[in-house]
Amino acid sequence: MKNFLSFLIIIVLFQSCDTQQAQYIKNSGLIFGTYYQLTYESPNGEDLHAEVKDLLNQLDNSFSTYNPNSTVSKVNQNIPVQPDTLFFNVFNKAQEISSLTNGAFDATVAPMVNAWGFGFKKKENITQQRIDSIKAFTGYSKVHLENGKIIKEDPRLMLDFSAIAKGYSVDIVADFLRKKGCSNCLVDIGGEVAAFGQNPSGATWRVGINEPNDNEPVNARELQAIASIKNKAMATSGNYRNFYIENGEKFAHTINPKTGYPVNHNLLSATIVADDCMTADALATACMVIGTDSAQKLISELDNVETFLIYANKTGTNQVFMTDGFQDLIINE
């Protein structure tokens, strides 16, 4: 009897050590000059925030133009550096999207972005002569990989992955969580999102699309639409988010790499849903460069990519265009 009781005690102790159950965990913080929010169902209740922060710091050390010791900063300063896999993945995707969009997306636009005051340097006095001088050493075809190194045709050429690195970071964090067994998760970095499985209510994740409004802060803007996202990524680019007024004229942060000037058309916001957030992020920027009609044509030629465009008509009223596939994602409440 004594041995039997001892056996029961051992079983109880063993079971008590295995009582951790799956639970949804939320983490948040700041990275890349913006916020991040994670919601994931941890299979054993483990909080993975510390490991995620380490991942984000690795990404920041590759892509932050504000960090003088980052890989991209060293490339821009022509300091010898051996890029890591993270850097190569983003560089290769950036070149792919640049070719796909005929240069509408171009990571070498950094000097132009800086000149207009939207980058990591002070705004310059803009003249056509200055724009022409910058255009002489920009262009995605003027930089390439050779034997594991970034080769620039002109030492003045600089890279800025701000329009693709956030999306890639979303992919990296989501992949990490899923490898940890978190099949239900939502990763949001500055509005770029990847969603897998279901939310804590057992439903598909819901992601809002802001109504473009220059006069309202981001956290006070109304939602234009809500999309149901599962096992997909979504990214939005919009000129209502970052602009300035000078001498009564509005200058948007989206710079057309071919002209060297901020875009001036009726497309206010471009949202892309794709299989990965890196692609969605870059395509959303490309759409904002080329405008409403060209964006519709571009997306219509791509597989597994959907778009939701908000544009102003001739009277200034906001209108929406969406692909059929995106229409299926819209939640009507």
Sign of the C-alpha dihedral computed for residues 317, 235, 121 and 56 taken in this order: positive
Do 93 and 278 form a contact (C-beta atoms < 8 A)? yes
Which of 27, 261, 270, 315 is CA-nearest to residue 128? 261
Distance CA 43, CA 41 (A): 6
List, in order, residues 6 or more apart from 263 with CB less than 8 Å away: 239, 252, 254, 255, 256, 288, 289, 291
Write down the pLDDT at residue 293: 96
Write down the pLDDT at residue 118: 77
Which of 125, 87, 122, 123 is CA-nearest to residue 107? 87
Write down the pLDDT at residue 7: 39
Do 108 and 65 form a contact (C-beta atoms < 8 A)? no
For 197, the token pair is 């499985």
Do 261 and 109 form a contact (C-beta atoms < 8 A)? no
Write down the pLDDT at residue 115: 84
Report residues of the chain scoring pLDDT below 50: 1-2, 4-18, 244
Distance CA 232, CA 55 (A): 21
- Segment 124-134, tens digit of pLDDT: 788 899 999 99
List, in order, residues 6 or more apart from 249 with CB less than 8 Å away: none
Q: How big is the CA angle at 180 (ends 178 and 183), to the nearest 5 degrees?
A: 35
Query: For the chain, first and last CA: distance in Å?
Result: 64
Distance CA 202, CA 208 (A): 18
For 158, the token pair is 């600089």
For the chain, list the domains and their CATH numbers: 79-152 (1.10.3980.10)
Write down the pLDDT at residue 15: 40
Q: Which 3 state secondary structure label does DSSP give 327? A: helix
Distance CA 158, CA 205 (A): 38
